[in-house]
Amino acid sequence: MKRSLVITTGIRSAADLEEKALALSRELNVPYIRREKKSLAAVREQGQADAILLVSQDKLSMVIDGKELFFHPGLAKLRIKEIQSGKTDQMIRAMNLKEGDSLLDCTLGLAADALVASYVVGPRGTVIGLEDAAPVAEIVRRGLQSYTGEKPELLNAMRRIQVVHTDHLTYLKNLPAGSFDVVYFDPMFRVAKEKSSSMAPLRPFANNSPLAKEAVAEAVRVARKRVVMKENRGSEEFQRLNFHRIQGGRYSPVAYGIIEKVVPCQ
């Protein structure tokens, strides 16, 4: 069941911050409640909401189940450091992603995979992330553009990611054939195994429908090189969706299904 939302600001909110909150309220069609001196619990109760989108000077966050959730590089930062030290990133290996490539991430989530990919493809490459859940898309879009305190190469990789709020099937259907080098799916954002995952509170706002065969077929049409899907190792989804080539780390609980495009001889 989808959870309900309200929007508010920090207690010490200037007029410009309130304007931002009102604009976001109109954009997302979510009620705005003026913060004044109310606690967040009082705001939530007044709005009869399950969660709050909190607009502050430095970020947009979601307060839900006693936690404040916002964009941060998280494990992507560690993965990029390992790539810099010469280690293999299994997702990048599965994608066979190179500098200058273009990637369409159809299940953006909190953008960890997109961030690693953006670092690898560099300034000559392209990473577009699709997110069906409007609150998640907005939190990540703003976070990617405003996050600070990291090295330039990481910040530049964040800034290059384009976030689109849409469902991936509609987006794929409207793309010409061969629009991207790689098309990527990570349905695990919707149905992760660990209930304690930091993403768990966001899932009620996400589309948790199984990945459709039609979406994979459209991805195959759109990809120039590969379609890649991340799933639990041994998942029946690989077979159902015709991902017959599987690879990943030997001891990893996840694996990557690959559909490689056959380039016709000239």
What mean pLDDT is predicted for residues 47-73?
89
At 127-181, the pLDDT tens digits run 999 999 889 999 999 999 999 989 999 999 999 999 999 999 999 999 999 999 9
What mean pLDDT is predicted for residues 110-137?
96
Residue 187 — very low, low, confident or very high, per pLDDT cuts 50/70/90? confident
DSSP per-residue codes, 85-98: TTPPPHHHHHHT--
Nearest Cα residue to 46 out of 8, 3, 17 = 8
Q: With the C-alpha atoms ordered 189, 193, 196, 200, is the resulting torsion angle positive or negative?
A: positive
Report the pLDDT value the prediction gives residue 266, as an integer from 0 to 100.
47
At 74-108, the pLDDT tens digits run 899 999 999 999 999 999 999 999 999 999 999 99
Position 245 pLDDT exceeds 70: yes
- Average pLDDT over all residues of the chain: 90
